[in-house]
């Protein structure tokens, strides 16, 4: 059957390709250590599961009313953003979505016209460029390598602006690099956009997973202008280990949220009702579970960072948050006889039985992504194998 050009032009997800290969090798009995996962290895905390069960028992089995989110969840999001991010929103400024990913997709489709430019710092999360292209937009990449701590500067952002710029995508802490912008760095980027109409998509999926005492500042909290020109995205996925529940949210100007809700009503009809109640319970409930997971990610991140930098030819900035390390391994390409990250990761998997994701999928072919959302034992073994592979 003929596949539409739109879908033919979409890139395959590199993360899924690695997972498939790892699964195939394991099925053949190979002992593979996979550092490919983009999700916490912890189970969803019990009180959140109980809230979902109670919602189901209480008859929350119909379409959510409204589809854009039950009032309990919208209020819980409003309270979270006020409490943790210093942001004042009304429930009408909040939309619940099928994971963070649907919210981002709806937002690009709602704001982008053909030919509009979207500035995306690279390395980037894999879905941004593909979602921009689906909306008819043009991704404009601004690169920041390991030497810059994977952070773009205000000057770079200024230089990338054109009269066609419609959206700036900001993701801190970052998937795939773990880079976390400080409040001052966030302020400085926001200042560049003060006299523009550019809309910032602030992807805050990892806002609670910060290391080394770092603090978080929402992009929308940098100024009144930024508040009026920012969509703030988050989800239960990473903070509460709810990736499989597919529940996220976005907050922003009421007219944009309303238009996104219209598009959502004609596509998915929104997230599952009982997951909305579960996320409301997560946001309103005891946050000790988040700190427990964060502290464990920090311990593992320190270990991975330290061990990677002990290996000759590997340069890895310290992850400031999330659960990824993104080492530049390009100095080892020649010795391994490879030309890029895909071949490098392929050989690591074949020869050392360690699964990592090639950086080229995130717009950085010098690097690979290691997830430390896995046990310390697995990480120790993976690092031993990577060291031996490069010896």
The site for ligand PLP (CB under 6 A) is made up of 38, 99-101, 125, 171, 175, 203, 205, 235, 237, 243, 248
Q: What torsion do the CA atoms of 160, 249, 320, 297 make, to the nearest 10 degrees? A: -150
Of residues 42 and 389, the one with the C-beta less far from ligand PLP: 42
Give the number of other Cβ atoms within 10 Å of residue 125's Cβ. 22
Which residue number is nearest to ligand PLP in terms of Cβ?
A: 99
Of residues 100 and 121, the one with the C-beta less far from ligand PLP: 100
Helix extents (H) in the chain: 5-8, 14-27, 46-57, 71-85, 99-111, 127-134, 154-160, 183-192, 224-228, 254-265, 273-284, 288-309, 333-336, 341-347, 376-390
Minimum Å distance from CB 100 to ligand PLP?
4
d(CA 82, CA 89): 8
Beta bridge partners of 94: 251
d(CA 50, CA 289): 15
Minimum Å distance from CB 219 to ligand PLP?
14
Run of H or E including 95: strand 94-97
Of residues 235 and 368, the one with the C-beta less far from ligand PLP: 235
Nearest to 158 by CA among 194, 185, 197, 192: 192
Minimum Å distance from CB 14 to ligand PLP?
13
Of residues 281 and 390, the one with the C-beta less far from ligand PLP: 281
Of residues 140 and 279, the one with the C-beta less far from ligand PLP: 279
Residue 333 tokens read as 């390409």
Do 176 and 324 contact (CB within 8 A), yes or no? yes
Minimum Å distance from CB 127 to ligand PLP?
7
Residue 334 tokens read as 């020649």
Minimum Å distance from CB 203 to ligand PLP?
5
Of residues 38 and 301, the one with the C-beta less far from ligand PLP: 38
Minimum Å distance from CB 99 to ligand PLP?
3
Of residues 12 and 351, the one with the C-beta less far from ligand PLP: 12
Minimum Å distance from CB 199 to ligand PLP?
17
Residue 146 tokens read as 């390991």
Q: What is Dmax (Cα atoms) for the chain? A: 62
């Amino acid at each position: 059957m003929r596949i539409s050009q739109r879908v033919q032009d979409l890139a395959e997800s590199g993360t899924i390709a690695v997972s498939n290969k790892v699964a195939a090798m394991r099925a053949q009995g190979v002992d593979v250590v996979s550092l490919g996962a983009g999700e916490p290895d912890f189970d969803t905390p019990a009180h959140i599961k109980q809230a979902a069960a109670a919602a189901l028992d209480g008859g929350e089995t119909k379409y959510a009313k409204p589809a854009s989110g039950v009032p309990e969840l919208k209020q819980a999001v409003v309270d979270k953003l006020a409490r943790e991010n210093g942001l004042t929103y009304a429930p009408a400024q909040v939309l619940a979505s099928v994971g963070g990913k649907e919210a981002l997709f709806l937002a690009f489709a709602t704001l982008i016209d053909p030919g509009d430019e979207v500035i995306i710092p690279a390395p980037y999360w894999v879905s941004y460029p593909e979602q921009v292209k689906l909306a008819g937009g043009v991704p404009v990449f601004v690169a920041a390598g390991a030497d810059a701590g994977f952070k773009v500067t205000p000057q770079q952002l200024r230089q990338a602006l054109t009269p066609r710029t419609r959206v700036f995508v900001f993701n801190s802490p970052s998937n795939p690099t773990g880079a976390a912008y400080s409040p001052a760095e966030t302020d400085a980027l926001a200042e560049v956009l003060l006299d523009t109409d550019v809309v910032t998509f602030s992807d805050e999926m990892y806002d609670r997973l910060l290391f080394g005492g770092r603090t978080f500042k929402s992009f929308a909290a940098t100024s009144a202008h930024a508040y009026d020109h920012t969509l703030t995205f988050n989800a239960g996925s990473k903070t509460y280990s709810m990736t499989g529940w597919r529940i996220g949210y976005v907050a922003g100007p009421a007219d944009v949220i309303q238009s996104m809700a219209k598009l959502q009503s004609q596509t998915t009809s929104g997230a599952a009702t009982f997951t909305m109640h579960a996320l409301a319970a997560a946001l309103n409930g005891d946050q000790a579970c988040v700190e427990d997971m964060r502290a464990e990610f920090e311990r593992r991140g320190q270990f991975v960072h330290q061990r990677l930098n002990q290996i000759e030819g590997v340069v890895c900035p310290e992850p400031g948050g999330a659960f990824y390390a993104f080492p530049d391994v390009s100095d080892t390409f020649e010795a391994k006889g490879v030309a890029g990250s895909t071949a490098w990761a392929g050989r690591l998997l074949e020869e050392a039985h360690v699964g990592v994701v090639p950086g080229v999928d995130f717009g950085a072919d010098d690097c690979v992504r290691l997830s430390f959302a896995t046990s310390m034992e697995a990480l120790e073994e993976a690092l031993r194998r990577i060291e031996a592979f490069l010896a």
